[in-house]
Chain A
């Protein structure tokens, strides 16, 4: 909420400065470090191994990628490095020290491969961005094999000036090395003639008092000439897109800025673009990501480049730096009011962004699909036939794998192979018009996984889509599974005999991803697998049908399912049945995805199944790329966690949000192996819990066990899983369902988890949300409550009424960490004897609950 600053009593203590943010990790041999989050114009000190090695570094503007500070000597593993900033008369605390490590700890197969951007590269281009670098490395660009530009001690990303300028048809690559350890080269990019005429450059909003502006619409690698009030400021080169320029003196509202751009001199400049200066009163408050209790930094989602950002917690200045991340001098307490203020030179924003910290508001982390280590090789196979039930199939498909270079049939990546065989992921498509090569539809997912070190196969099962086979339903899916296993058996021969894959595949780390019928098929594959040495450890079942081809109870592997809420084909979201019955070996995860249809996860499936005609029935859906982003983010997190022992679990249990995915549309349920189950409402009456303790219904509440399924005795017809749960209703504000523990629990560093949903009651969806609260009771009878709105809020039913009658009650998991309850100082968190589910809205609306658990926080 944007509020006028003059209505607040913010204590702007000039002595408070945020510690700057030292980009981590730090690697040995790095010749430079990167620092962000400081006040524009501040000076920076860098301390290495207890000695200040850089003092009073004039850092200038932190936009757009912070300061790159070259060191007098390369870093050495084990050194501790710190940074601090000074501005005006104030000096910040030192940031927490970071320890230098050898890059082979994180990148045993060598530094990640650089990425050239933006592309395409144009004839006469003079500057290119290089990303995916380790800070402090050396990077260079070659054009037709000759070095065209280089930077020692690079930032990430790093702009590289190119001389001579690119020429059409040159092949350009980027390279990097650290500690004399070379990365693989970037993808090859061929220089193209630019589209002429070039467009007029544009300007992002320019504010009075600022000293930086952003010129946009710059062609890749072009240079542009900037003028202020008709007087040329200079000609600058830009990698393309947006380019930031610092000017002095500060802008005034009478300034007029103009720019033209040019690539080849003979082509002439573009038409001029013009920018005007907005008055200071137009400077908005920054946009801020939700703040979670205990946060030690604030993340901005929109701000003016080059601005200073001040953060106040309960009116006390707690941070002073710059976007996108401002470090705080102390953690945000529970329920604090956080005000974020933007200042641009002499212009002080008249409003601030105000928000309240929440008990649970997961921060956005990285992009689990963005790990880019290796070039990607591809290999199509078509080898032999197999027959099942009288149907004969070719064993064929497409393999993506980490290679020495990009392209078909390239050698397997030599350095990765030296480290041991790579895990395997097998993708299986579903039923679709056999005229389309469905198995090609997951190429983006295959490539992403291959870049991070997986061998990824997509099995061509199009012959199972021929009508006589397809119509077999359950048997069709069984045959799909057998054909998928035949491909794995074929891969074993490749692994045994080469030439590309000899010894390259670790079948003891096999994962499966199936879509639609393929999504039930992969569960059947796991159950039917008898191949020697093949251990299926993870299964991602995307929009599965449930024909009965499996036991219906995924077991013995980690399980994830996607339920597209706007699925117009598998309208029952049968994956919920598999999730409910899955044993959480390691973990099970369910994503109920608003605005997702059935088809858009496969690039060969063009039809929008959430759009029916005659009569017209339409559900609002995300774009196809947004569907793909969800599969990439969560799918890569899942397979990395299980098959590579990657640190991506937080994305699977709602502790981190993956960058780039529309996470507001994703409602997660999850369960981790080995947790204490207080109540799963299975196999006992509502009067006792799963620990055999007598429950109590208090405050006018009614609770009851119901099938959460399309079954007799269900609370209503909106449940589509396969389990039993508790539906509670209360017409008073004191509704309380008490679940005693068999033995007390020390809830410190622990959390309560429960699945819950607003029950959809046809035909109406109330205009406002409802909710509940969770209480924990200690041995003295003290109860501390936390509302679901403080941990994310109860999601609304996804409205399908314009499409069909299958609007659903679909449960999500909510976390209630210990610190949420800690605000009640009388509560003894070390001795909790009961958990309460409270209905305090007084609206009489039913809430569905399941899987009440206690877990490590």
Chain B
């Protein structure tokens, strides 16, 4: 019998968890929550009834992984990224501290990790609207 030389199997890497979709549209508004929405910070719950909402339309779904996407408005991270159940290409980010959002700040998309590459969306933040 001929002796085969062992060959290492390829490592499985069928998911690129760092891939980010392109942002094809963006809309800024004010969202009212009824009933109030629970927001947890440092383990403490509070309830808010209003937030600045930035809804983005994306070219493809996000990969499900440990980290969340984050939308950077200037240097302010928006860490909630909720796809619309009936329109999964629409993802809503919320700011519960709207005073931290600076008018004219560039908006970028990234994963929530140190040094993660930020993908500029081409949009800038304007209250009540987004400007391309």
Q: Show the binding face of A for B, using Cβ within 8 Å.
A: 389, 430-434, 465, 467-468, 470-475, 478, 516-517, 524, 527, 543, 545, 547-552, 568-572, 598, 606-609, 611-614, 618, 710, 720, 804-806
Contacts and interface: CB of A to CB of B under 8 A. Distances in A.
Report whether over half of chain A's contact residues are helix, strand or loop; otherwise say mixed: loop
A551 B61 contact: no
Nearest to B18: A612
Nearest to A568: B17
B40 A570 contact: no
A430 B68 contact: no
Contact of B16 (A432, A467, A613): A613
Contact of B67 (A478, A570, A608, A618): A570
Interface in B75-119: 79-85, 88, 91, 112-116
Given A548-B40, A806-B115, A569 B17 contact: yes
Max chain A Cβ within 10 angstroms of own Cβ: one of B12, B45, B67: B67
A720 B41 CA distance: 20
Contact of B43 (A524, A543, A571): A524
Interface string B1-29: 00000000001111111100000000000
B84 A547 contact: no
B43 A804 contact: no
B16 A569 contact: no
Given A548-B41, A805-B115, 4 more contacts: A433-B15, A471-B62, A473-B79, A475-B40
B132 interface: no
A557 to B, nearest CB: 15
Nearest to A434: B64
B79 A474 contact: yes
B38 A710 contact: no
A516 B13 contact: no
Contacts of B83: 467-468, 471
Contacts of A570: 66-67, 113
Given A467-B61, A607-B13, A473 B112 contact: yes
A430 B66 contact: yes
Contact of B81 (A473, A527, A606): A473
Interface in B50-75: 61-62, 64-69
A473 B42 contact: no
A277 B17 CA distance: 55
Given A432-B64, A548-B41, A614 B16 contact: yes
A203 B83 CA distance: 63
A547 B88 contact: no
A467 B64 contact: yes
Given A478-B40, A524-B43, A612-B18, A465 B64 contact: yes
21 contacts: A389-B37, A431-B64, A431-B65, A467-B64, A468-B84, A471-B83, A472-B80, A473-B80, A474-B39, A474-B40, A527-B43, A548-B42, A552-B43, A568-B17, A569-B67, A571-B114, A607-B15, A611-B11, A613-B13, A613-B16, A618-B11
Contacts of A614: 16
A568 to B, nearest CB: 7
Nearest to A432: B64
B67 to A, nearest CB: 6
A571 B40 contact: no
Contacts of A389: 37-38
A763 to B, nearest CB: 14
A551 B113 CA distance: 19
Nearest to B85: A468
B84 A611 contact: no
Given A612-B13, A612-B18, A470 B64 contact: yes
Contacts of B61: 467
A478 B37 CA distance: 13
Contacts of A473: 68, 79-81, 112
Contacts of B113: 570-572
Contacts of A545: 66-67
Nearest to B37: A389
Contacts of A524: 43
B114 A572 contact: yes
A471 B42 contact: no
B45 to A, nearest CB: 8
Nearest to A517: B66
Nearest to A528: B43
Given A431-B66, A471-B62, A606 B43 contact: no
Contacts of B85: 468
A598 B67 CA distance: 12
